[in-house]
Amino acid sequence: MSRLPVVYVIYYSTFGHIEKLARAVIRGLEESGVQVKLFQVPETLPQEVLEKMGAPAKASDVPVITASQLTEADGFLFGVPTRFGTTPSQIKAFFDSCGQLWTSGALYGKFAGCFFSTSSQGSGQETTALSCVPFFVHHGINFVPIGYKSKNLVDNSDIHGGSPWGAGTITGADGKRTPSELELQVAHFQGSEFGNLLKKI
Ligand SMILES: Cc1cc2nc3c(=O)[nH]c(=O)nc-3n(C[C@H](O)[C@H](O)[C@H](O)COP(=O)(O)O)c2cc1C
């Protein structure tokens, strides 16, 4: 690649935890020197339902992505909050809107990773990441994990999300826990490592 790689960070967030991780991922990517844009996927729930769930307003500075925009980037990092151990329907609906890109092979050879959020430990972080992989595989997109290079992942002095699959946070049953400094550092690490990898390719 003779130009700077372009990375899109694309997330869904009902309550703001994934959005916070996404902004840390963006800072890491920026530090690596790649070109970055932040997007959210389209909401599928009616406003009335979101209000009943106590969801705050969506970030007004983050545009909503369309499938065709994926062709503009060399890599994607998806922010995915867990729903029943898997991806939320909003992310799935966005993936399902990429059928034409699949038939044309438009995303073949690109790179992707993901980061995630659950309310508790052992309740779906890895399975959520794993449930994104078939989408990547069918498009011929290379999945990029973070491994254990960040020693934060093996720091057991406090509970934290994240794993070799990607950065993660734990919200608590009431959703009041915000991403910890360690979790934000892993998100930053994921961004900078992903950016550095794309620059090498
Ligand atoms: C319908 C529904 C299903 C959920 N399923 C799970 C689950 O399987 N495991 C879990 O730990 N949290 C689960 N949660 C909690 C969400 O993962 C949590 O609200 C989310 O990670 C917060 O991210 P956000 O603030 O970016 O929306 C669920 C929440 C909803 C609304």
91 in contact with ligand 1, CB cutoff 6 A: no
In this structure, the residue with its CA closest to atom 28 of ligand 1 is 83
Residues of the domain holding 110:
6-200
Residue 154 per-residue DSSP state? G
Ligand 1 and 90: CB distance under 6 A: no
Q: 123 CB under 6 A from ligand 1?
A: yes
d(CA 21, CA 184): 6
| Ligand 1 mean position, distance from CA 139 (Å) | 27
β-pairing verdict for 75-81 and 168-170 = unpaired
Q: Which of 108, 181, 183, 109 is nearest to 146 (CA)?
A: 183
21 alpha carbon to ligand 1 midpoint, in Å? 15
CA-CA distance, 138 to 22, in Å (whole number)?
25
Q: Is 70 exceeded by the pLDDT of residue 30?
A: yes
What value does the mean pLDDT take over residues 16-41?
A: 98
Backbone angles phi and psi of 157, in degrees to 5: -70, -20
State in Å: Cα 191 to ligand 1 middle. 23
> Is residue 70, in this structure, part of any structural domain at all?
yes
Residues 90-119: pLDDT tens digits? 999 999 999 999 999 999 999 999 999 999
Q: 128 CB under 6 A from ligand 1?
A: no
Q: Which residue's CA is the nearest one to ligand 1's atom 29?
A: 83
Number of domain units in the chain? 1
Question: Can you tell me whether residue 105 is helix, strand or coil?
Answer: coil
Residue 170: name the closest of 89, 81, 92, 90 by CA. 81
Assign 2 a pLDDT band (cuts: 50, 70, 90). confident
1 in any annotated domain: no
Domain annotation covers residue 148: yes
Distance CA 153, CA 182 (A): 9
Summarised one tens digit per residue, pLDDT across range 32-80 is: 999 999 999 999 999 999 999 999 999 999 999 999 999 999 999 999 9
CA of 131 from ligand 1 middle (Å) equals: 15
* Residues 122-154: tens digit of each pLDDT: 999 999 999 999 999 999 999 999 999 999 999
Is residue 158 within 8 A of residue 198, CB to CB? The reply is: no
| DSSP single-letter state for residue 67 | G
CATH code for position 24: 3.40.50.360
